[in-house]
Chain A
């Protein structure tokens, strides 16, 4: 009932290539990218990307939005931790969306951030499927 992460290729340990499938209204949390490069291409539908500043050390107030844009089919985006944090969402209530993501080096944990307070929380990311096979949870 959330967007799914589907691993396509792990590039001999050098990168993760995955496809994300977003239902109507599905969105991610605000997250960082654990010092890796992150490329994203929209394969179907549209995704809204909202960029945020890193919160202050203690994290004691609403996080600051830097910018937002809607990425259309075939558009690409790039982010890394020095650029900032982002939230990605499918804001359509009628269309699903599909995106292709390339992370290098690969990472399986990142921090999610509470927009109201800037508090961060480390999470482990999981795959809904790997190489076409559903992963068992």
Chain B
């Protein structure tokens, strides 16, 4: 960037240096107090010096709203970028990212995040801590699974996941009530239920522990060795809301298909305490409570049907 930039144009609000072959952006940026939009796509940024030192303390850290670094050579998200507290829109599309740093949650004001066209293999659950995120693009990456925590993105309107390596989705995806668009094409989504061959039957200790917990068998620390008292305190509730069961180490992964009236069948991953645990989607469920729960699942599925992009 030319030195003297901030002296010539102190009131600069929008700076577009795209397609100029830039390899670094230096201190010239730090004294532009009014800059809210910086477009630097299609350059050679990615190495040290891509962003100026002292960025966290500069007025820019609070004033910058839009940053476009797409089409560069970033192999990771520079930690300094995460100091841009006021950032609303960030694009790092078409770079060389292999992962998303958990500290992305520092960008509290982020509404638009474009990470398409990288080499990302997984999504950190911390991404879900962005309260204002409306538009999330993760297409054309190498993502193998979506963390269920992503369903906590209450503001999410649009989620782009096409052309990745997803074989199933977490059941929680049905909880994104404000989602208006979801793209899933070009993923190897399983079309048939493949039995999870690695299910290990629970140990006798686990079976005993489950019985103690579900039957509320009373016990005091003096009744059992410390190790078993500790073990019993680690019981997890079966994620199936209809089942009152618990599990310790042994849990079943099961794929249930949600059929959107013949338009799409989406494989959703359920975790159950045992293969016999009746799930909300199971046709075996008989009781009246199961009807209302499977109704709400049906509603969520119906909503998703309108949201899915072909």
Where the two chains meet, the residues of A that have a C-beta atom closer than 8 Å to any C-beta of B are 1-2, 24-25, 27, 29-30, 91-94, 112-117, 119, 121
Contact = CB atoms under 8 A, between A and B. Distances in A.
A129 to B, nearest CB: 18
Query: Looking at chain A's contact residues, is the secondary structure mostly helix, strand, loop, or mixed?
Result: loop
B158 interface: yes
Interface of B: 41-42, 70-71, 91, 93-94, 114, 116-117, 135, 137, 139-140, 157-158, 160, 162, 180-181, 183, 185, 189, 191, 262-265, 309-310
A90 B96 CA distance: 20
Contacts of A93: 70-71, 93-94, 114, 116-117, 140
Given A24-B114, A116-B189, A94 B310 contact: no
Given A1-B181, A2-B309, A113-B310, A119 B114 contact: no
A92 B116 CA distance: 9
Contacts of B185: 27, 115
Nearest to A24: B93
Contact of B263 (A30, A94, A119): A119
Contacts of A30: 310
A1 B180 contact: yes
B186 to A, nearest CB: 8
Contacts of A2: 158, 181, 309
Given A94-B93, A119-B263, A25 B116 contact: yes
A94 B265 CA distance: 32
Contacts of A116: 189, 191
Given A1-B180, A24-B93, A24-B116, A94 B135 contact: no
17 contacts: A24-B91, A24-B137, A25-B137, A25-B139, A29-B310, A93-B116, A93-B117, A94-B42, A94-B93, A112-B310, A114-B263, A114-B264, A115-B310, A116-B189, A116-B191, A119-B264, A121-B263
A94 B309 contact: no
A1 B157 contact: yes
A25 B140 contact: yes
B162 to A, nearest CB: 7
A16 B262 CA distance: 32
Nearest to B118: A93
Contacts of B117: 25, 93
Contact of A94 (B71, B157, B191, B262): B71
B158 A1 contact: yes
Question: Which 7 A/B pairs are nearest by Cβ-Cβ distance?
Answer: A29-B310, A93-B93, A93-B117, A93-B94, A94-B71, A1-B158, A94-B70
A27 B183 CA distance: 9
Contacts of A117: 191, 265
Given A1-B181, A24-B70, A117-B265, 15 more contacts: A2-B158, A2-B309, A24-B91, A24-B114, A25-B114, A25-B160, A27-B162, A27-B183, A91-B140, A93-B93, A94-B41, A114-B310, A116-B191, A119-B263, A121-B310
B211 to A, nearest CB: 44
Between A25, A113, A119, the greatest number of chain B beta carbons within 10 A of the residue's beta carbon is seen for: A25
Contacts of B180: 1
